[in-house]
Structure 1
Amino acid sequence: MSSKAATVSALVRYLKGKLENDTLLQKVLVEGEISNFSSYRSGHWYFSLKDAYAQIKCVMFASSNRRVGFMPKDGDKVFVQADLSVYEARGEIQLIVTAMRPFGVGELYLKYEMLKKKLEAEGLFDEAHKKPIPRYPFRIALVTGRNTDARMDVLTTLGRRWPCAEITEYPVLVQGNESASQIISALLKCDQEDHDIVLLVRGGGSIEDLWSFNDERLAHVIYDMQTPLITGIGHEPDFTIADYVADLRAPTPTGAAERCSPDIKSVLTVIQTARDRMTNTIYQDLDAYDYQLKTLKNAPVFRTPERLYAQKAMKLEHLHTSLMHMIDQRMTDTSARVKDGHNRIMNASVQMIRSRQNELTGYRTAIDHAMTIMMNDSESRFRRTAALLDAYSPLKILGRGYSVTLKDGKAVTDCGQVSTGDRIETLVAEGRIISEVTGVKPKENI
């Protein structure tokens, strides 16, 4: 056994974290019978859900249960959506219920929750995608049932609050098998026309009556619309898929009309107030400008305007005189510096030329002496080389009585190179001898 024991609170807190972070245990759908139901002054509901084999504690906070369209009681069979958690003070597992429907509509509610979960995962409820509602819409499209109370509520509210708006009606069926298709067609049509906003409204009813507004195709059409859309479907507790996708959800048709339209009385009041403020501001500015004009008119500068520039003209004349004097002084100084610089340059140039002439004279004498020595030395080397070449010249050898024998222009150095009858040429000091070989004797026979 470990020597380090966990506290009870730490263990319960750990279990709570595990349960609340498990996505499989969030937004679970549970059916059961209500027992031990209690409603507190805070608005929260506390009860248990049970079946034949087990039960579990539940709590539904006021922010969630106000959307439930009935008051539960012990023995009611219900269908709930809830998150699994732990009540730390007692260490009890409990369900935090977020939605509730009577058991009779459980199948439709299950479809509703499944579709809602799917579309939410696809991003159709994303607040970042929702379009802003125009502050002063003048072209309003109304999509609702023909001759319905919802239609009259919207028209009456708009006529009272914002009578300057142009309202275009798109009558559709608001329940039944053909309802969703008609609503989709109407929304596509009005989105192509130049409307500032679209109202999609219907009066209250059961989940079956409102089921057309839970159509998946309708949700995608609303999401893709370019025109802002406000829904006012059913009553306060009724939430449909269309409400979640819409740019703004109102609790009722009348609420939708109020959300999309400003109160013309308030607008006129604001306009009148702005007009009064603008008029007062203009008059105040005019009075201020009139006072300033009169003050300036009586100012000395306007009565004797030459004073405005007299001092400036005198100062300008003084500056002009000072400037011309300064320019003359600068030119005199500059001329003197230029003349002095010229004399210095000429003296330095004469001295440099004389110095260079002396250097050139010295260089010329040295070069002449060096050339004389080099010529004498080269002449001596030439004579020695010529004598040496003359000593080794073949002509000198021939002059001493020697000769060179040629055959076909090549020197004969061996008797094997000629044969009897060959024509040979002999070079001597004073000419050539042409002869024919009559015999050949090798060296050993001499």
Structure 2
Amino acid sequence: MSIGSLGQVKSVSQINAEIRHLLDSEFRFVRVRGEISTVRKPFSGHTYFILKDHQSQLPAVLFKNQRRWLAGELKEGQQVVCDGRISVYEPRGQYQLIVDTIDFDGTGQLRILFDQLKQKLKEEGLFDQEHKVALPPEINHVVVVTSPTGAAVHDFISVCTSRRAALSIQILPVRVQGQGAADEICRAIETAHSLSPDVIVLCRGGGSIEDLWSYNEEIVARTIYEATIPLVTGIGHETDFTIADFCADLRCATPTAAAELITTDPLAYEEKTAYYFSRLLRSITLVLDAYEVRLNRMADMLSTFDKAFSHHTFAVEHLFTKLHNSMAMTIEQKRSHFSNLHSLLLHLAPDTAIIRHQDRLTFLSKRLLEKTDQFVQARQARLEQSAAVLDTLSPLKTLARGYGIVSKKLPTSNGSGNIITSTSQVAESEEVEVKLHKGAMDCCVVRKKT
């Protein structure tokens, strides 16, 4: 195929001009709905931003003379409807939406997802401070999970090198944005645990919310929460916050700040030591000067002490003597009063009364025993005397001398009858009973004698 058959050869400027003419004629008025991202406001006064949805992005510009018609300020994540035209910025060959008016259409979808996940994880306790692990006092081994080609890793290493930090730094390369980046970050964190570092650093450079979305994935948040080694994040810029930052043990604003946190600057330590030493030396000097002034003043006062206080010394000695005598007299009076109280207390004390009553009880018990023995002996003597009298008068004594007791033998239940003292009380042939000293006899009256 010859060059001539390809048509006229055009310059880049001509092609861009023709494309611009074509777009200006075909897209003179369009309405585009999307989410605002990456808002920039340079010194020119124009506002540059990205209009996006879940699949595509469209660069847009709002010139400064059109900003006065806005109902509010443009912010990241706002959902808007833009009226304008599509044109080409010829110097860069970039097409863009030139915005005339903007209707605000609510919060961006990504921002909604971010807030929903943040609230969910917060309620589950993934952001709780008590779960976070403190950094060790001495850090010698660091594992950095980041892109090997990004500016973040170079900034991190540069800070460590400039501070002459004696660190062992291992880089675990991952994709920091795009599909599959979140899974790679999770696997890298798990791999970092097998390397047993002192600290794990998760960092990347700044970007839009879409660029940082891998660090807003729930799988990354839960992996960070389950980490047992202290994990520090340095993601984006000062104003960039991700879900990973809330789950991390410590959040730094940038990769550079993360490097400064975990490294020690020897020069800074030397300067700080010199500063504190100078402050300490100055403080000691001031204190010593103050004490010297006070000592000099006290020496002057002591040199005139005898003269200034001789009269007062005599008065103090006189008052001391009076006080001593008064106290001695008071002490003696109190001692005498105490002795009297002590004697009275001993007299009225319960233990003294108890001893006194115990002695009286012992005496009365002894008297009771003596009186009881005398009473028993007297009663026993009377009993023996009465027994002797009864023995003397007892019918048994008479029976023992050969006498007997004759009684009628009547048919009674006990077999005894009336005592017979006269022959007139019985008849001949009548049976009678004779009771002897030992035993008894049944007899029959043969005849009576008078």
Q: TM-score, normalised by structure 1?
A: 0.45
Between structure 1 and structure 2, the one with the greater Rg is 2
